[in-house]
């Protein structure tokens, strides 16, 4: 299923020029164009229509999860 505004995360396995081999998980390996980003092996990129559009920030992802937890624990906040 192709959804236009959807982008899916994938892990960069190898970079050759502007093409990278990425792992979408579940054994799905593909090639994407990484012209738009500075991607290194091990990075997670957001892939949209065959092009990586952003490198996902792992620290920020963890930070978001932490923040959510905290927010919910802060009972008196409301």
Strands 19-23 and 44-48: unpaired
| Closest CB 76 distance from other proteins, rounded Å | 11
Binding site for other proteins (CB under 8 A): 1-7, 9, 33, 35-37, 46, 48-51, 53-54, 56-58, 60-65, 68-69, 71-72, 78
Kindly tell me which of 14 and 63 has the beta carbon lying closer to other proteins: 63
Q: For residue 35, which phi and psi values (nearest 5 degrees)? A: -55, -35
CA–CA gap between residue 77 and residue 17 (Å, rounded): 50
| Closest CB 68 distance from other proteins, rounded Å | 6
| Closest CB 56 distance from other proteins, rounded Å | 5
Q: For residue 33, which phi and psi values (nearest 5 degrees)? A: -85, 125
């Amino acid at each position: 299923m192709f959804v236009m505004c959807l982008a899916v995360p994938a892990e960069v396995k190898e970079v050759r020029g502007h093409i990278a081999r990425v792992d979408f998980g579940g054994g799905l390996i593909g090639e994407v164009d990484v012209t738009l980003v500075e991607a290194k092996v091990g990075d997670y990129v957001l892939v949209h229509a065959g092009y990586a559009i952003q490198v996902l920030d792992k620290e920020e992802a963890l930070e978001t999860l932490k923040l959510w937890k905290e927010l919910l624990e802060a009972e008196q906040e409301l």
